[in-house]
């Protein structure tokens, strides 16, 4: 076999790999549908496992493991384990007992106190819809990590040596930026608008055209329209492959950037919608990055000149709060840089905010989810909805930055928690904590779930709501407090372990400045006389939102994935632990995990606390100025159709106040029924768009 045949065979092998992945995904969907039907059949009073098993192509033991109530009488009389431990076919072993069940039996927990409800009266109780049966998992739920017992676990409760977030001792340098519509070739540089010939829109053609038009040097190119990285998408099985191929295509006179000075950002960032290409001249004297302006806000149908005006307006507004503010490449970079300039130079944290141990950072990464995304389907909602009303929380995360955990956390074991008084327990649960808990949904519960539980999948979560369901999970203080003090009835919470921080305000100054900038720009977007400037102000206000949103996300510091390219002639140099994600005749593109970097600005405890607070506010939030409560748990049972990060979808409008303040619920869509209940996310999004359009029409006609 020669080198050419070898390379071709590798290409065929990768195609087979992708086909296998697709087949495995299809098989998982079919198995899930099969198990769902078995569970439904089990509701028939005369259902028998002996008949269901051959129809499903499963063994009797597998059906009984899925639905224990179907155990034949001859087996039910024996010890339970006899039926479940009989040998299963090698090709389809019986599901193993979930780790949570073992922990349920062996790990003692300390019962948390039931707290005072957050409102005196519960929402009006309508006749409850039939609760959905508890779905049998199609595969074992994801096991969440826990803190080791004894001294080993106690050793996690420290900080990484010589690593802390400190106030910068330098002035950030701005980069010369142009704005390019890759569809029309319109380029905006400062106050000049030029027309370029971009050919097929390759990296080489774009760089050649831009540097011919602006020879004095450009360091950043924002693509405002056209998405040139998608132009060959039909030639690749996945969109990310097309993006990688575009970024790595030969560009005469240029090569992939390897970084400069203290700038650690080098190489390309492969993202299906908002990639980043970093290049330097072969001479090494010129560095430039190509980015999508869509990282900041939606640029659909917006001229590049207005996009530039939005960035200028954003910069001038931020400068009123940060005299040395600089717009960096992405909202997350900008947000983190601005935050570092609010780190106190005097007082308790003048030496910086220390970074947690890698063990605690890894624990938070694995156990602290972000936004709640859940679609609730019949029978938990009606088959035909009377309406679909969308409420979106305005600038939501800004509402939850006033308090965050600081310092080295204390470990609160079940034994420790049990020794505290009820007052001490309540104070701890109301503080900045992250808790390992065993949860039981109370008898008679007929509303949505409150606490996230791990579901199959890399970082998937679901929200159990069936009465009597018990599960083990991790959750933040705001959600635990909501479960114990919700307006309907308290849930049973057993504390197994936890992290408890001192209360602090590391993000408060940063957030207040961003909220003031957002408020000012939002007002300009409403009041400015010129339509173009109103649009620019609106985009700039969206950019401020992105700075806070993605700035918070940057604190989470997930394990890094490095992307690289290797010439086909040097394939043996591809790292052994790398996954090949794309290839062509000349290059192989790969990626590999590198774990947690020594990032001085890694604070996943802050991101986790804010995300927990935002999820809790979707359920119950007090409007102090109006002395009322809002959120899903303050609506009738069966009226919540979906959660989508900061939004609620309901079957009826609510009389909730809106003062255009962070966290307020804004009515963004209203579609009148009858409407078939959405069964997929695509259905929901289609109804959402129709509801927004309908609400806009009604307001214009009013």
Interval 328-364: pLDDT, tens: 999 999 999 999 999 998 888 888 999 999 999 999 9
pLDDT-derived band at 81 (thresholds 50, 70, 90) equals very low
- Report the C-alpha gap between 372 and 390 in whole angstroms: 15
Tokens 């220390």 sit on residue: 354
Question: Given a cut of 80, is residue 135 above it in pLDDT?
Answer: no
Rg (the chain; Cα; Å): 28
Question: Given a cut of 70, is residue 80 above it in pLDDT?
Answer: no
Residue range 465-493, pLDDT digits in tens? 999 999 999 999 999 999 999 999 999 99
- Report the C-alpha gap between 363 and 178 in whole angstroms: 41
Any idea which of 107-111, 198-202, 300-304, 525-529 has the lowest mean pLDDT? Answer: 107-111
Q: Which two tokens stand for residue 233?
A: 């998408």
Which of 44 and 280 is assigned the larger pLDDT? 280
Round to the nearest angstrom and report the end-to-end CA distance of the chain. Answer: 76
- Report the C-alpha gap between 279 and 289 in whole angstroms: 6
| Neighbouring-strand partners of residue 75 | none
Residue range 89-109, pLDDT digits in tens? 333 333 333 333 333 344 678
Q: With beta carbons less than 8 A apart as the criterion, state whether 640 and 337 touch.
A: no
DSSP tag of 230: G
Q: Which two tokens stand for residue 175?
A: 């980069």
How many CB atoms sit inside 10 A of residue 547's CB? 29
- Report the C-alpha gap between 219 and 393 in whole angstroms: 37
Q: What is the largest CA-CA distance in the chain?
A: 87
Report the pLDDT averaged over residues 637-641.
96
Q: What is the pLDDT of residue 127?
A: 42
Residue range 267-302, pLDDT digits in tens? 888 899 999 999 999 887 889 999 999 999 999 999
Closest residue by Cα to residue 204 from 242, 256, 243, 252: 252
Query: Could you tell me how far CA 506 lies from the centroid of its own chain?
Result: 22
Report the pLDDT averaged over residues 561-590.
74
Q: What is the pLDDT of residue 94?
A: 34
Closest residue by Cα to residue 250 from 14, 9, 565, 571: 565
What contacts 575, CB < 8 A, 6 or more positions away? 564, 590, 592
- Report the C-alpha gap between 643 and 393 in whole angstroms: 11
Report the pLDDT averaged over residues 492-511.
96
């Amino acid at each position: 076999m020669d080198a050419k045949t070898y390379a071709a065979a590798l290409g065929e092998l990768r195609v087979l790999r992708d086909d296998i992945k697709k087949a495995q995904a299809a098989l998982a969907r079919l198995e899930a549908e099969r198990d769902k039907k078995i569970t439904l059949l089990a509701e028939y009073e005369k259902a028998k496992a002996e008949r269901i098993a051959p129809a499903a192509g499963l063994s009797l033991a597998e059906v009984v493991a899925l639905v224990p109530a179907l155990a034949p009488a001859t087996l039910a009389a024996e010890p339970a384990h006899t039926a479940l431990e009989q040998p299963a076919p090698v090709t389809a072993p019986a599901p193993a007992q979930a780790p949570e069940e073992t922990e349920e039996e062996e790990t003692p927990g300390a019962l948390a106190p039931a707290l005072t409800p957050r409102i005196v009266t519960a929402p009006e109780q309508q006749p409850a819809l039939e609760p959905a049966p508890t779905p049998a998992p199609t595969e074992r739920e994801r096991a969440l990590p826990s803190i080791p017992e004894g001294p080993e676990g106690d050793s996690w409760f420290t900080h990484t040596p010589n690593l802390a977030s400190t106030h910068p001792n330098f002035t950030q340098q701005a980069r010369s930026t142009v704005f390019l519509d890759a569809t029309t070739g319109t380029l905006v540089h400062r106050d000049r608008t030029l027309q370029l010939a971009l050919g097929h829109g390759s990296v080489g053609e774009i760089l050649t055209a831009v540097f011919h038009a602006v020879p004095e040097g450009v360091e950043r190119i924002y693509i405002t329209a056209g998405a040139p990285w998608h132009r060959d998408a039909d030639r690749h099985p996945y969109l990310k492959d097309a993006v990688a191929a575009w970024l790595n295509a030969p560009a005469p006179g240029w090569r992939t950037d390897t970084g400069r000075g203290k700038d650690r950002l080098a190489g390309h960032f492969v993202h299906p919608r908002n990639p980043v290409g970093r290049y330097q001249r072969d001479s090494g004297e010129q560095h430039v990055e190509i980015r999508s302006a869509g990282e900041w806000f939606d640029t659909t149908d917006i001229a590049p000149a207005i996009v530039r005006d939005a960035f200028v307006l954003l910069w001038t507004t931020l400068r009123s709060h940060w005299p040395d503010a600089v717009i960096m490449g992405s909202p997350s970079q900008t947000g983190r840089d601005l935050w570092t300039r609010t780190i106190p130079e005097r007082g308790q944290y003048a030496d910086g905010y220390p970074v947690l141990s890698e063990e605690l950072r890894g624990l938070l990464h694995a156990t602290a989810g972000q936004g709640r995304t859940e679609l609730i389907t019949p029978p938990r909602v009606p088959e035909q909805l009377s309406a679909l009303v969308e409420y979106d929380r305005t600038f939501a995360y800004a509402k939850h930055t006033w308090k965050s955990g600081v310092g080295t956390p204390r470990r609160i074991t079940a034994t420790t928690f049990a020794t505290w008084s009820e007052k001490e327990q309540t104070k701890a649960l109301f503080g900045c904590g992250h808790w390992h808990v065993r949860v039981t949904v109370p008898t008679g519960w007929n509303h949505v779930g409150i606490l996230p539980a791990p579901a199959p999948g890399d970082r998937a979560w679901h929200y159990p709501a069936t009465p009597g369901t018990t599960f083990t999970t991790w959750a933040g203080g705001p959600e635990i407090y909501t479960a114990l003090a919700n307006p309907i009835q308290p849930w049973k919470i057993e504390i197994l372990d936890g992290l408890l921080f001192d209360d602090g305000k590391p993000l408060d100054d940063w957030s207040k400045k961003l909220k003031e900038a957002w408020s000012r720009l939002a007002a300009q977007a409403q009041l400015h006389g010129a339509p173009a400037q109103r649009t620019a102000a609106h985009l700039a206000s969206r950019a401020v939102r992105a700075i806070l949103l993605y700035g918070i996300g940057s604190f989470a510091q997930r394990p890094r994935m490095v992307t690289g390219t290797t010439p086909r002639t040097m394939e043996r140099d591809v790292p052994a632990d790398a996954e090949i994600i794309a290839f062509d005749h000349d290059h192989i593109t790969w990626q590999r995990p590198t774990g947690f970097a020594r990032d001085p600005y890694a604070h996943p405890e802050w991101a986790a606390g804010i995300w927990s607070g935002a999820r809790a506010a979707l359920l119950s939030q007090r409007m102090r100025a109006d002395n009322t409560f809002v959120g899903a748990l303050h609506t009738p049972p069966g009226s919540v159709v979906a959660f989508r990060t900061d939004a609620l979808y309901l079957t009826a409008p609510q009389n909730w106040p809106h003062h255009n303040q962070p966290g307020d619920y804004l009515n963004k869509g209203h579609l009148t029924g009858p409407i078939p209940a959405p069964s997929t996310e695509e259905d929901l999004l289609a109804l959402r768009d129709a509801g927004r359009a309908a609400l806009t029409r009604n307001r214009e006609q009013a």
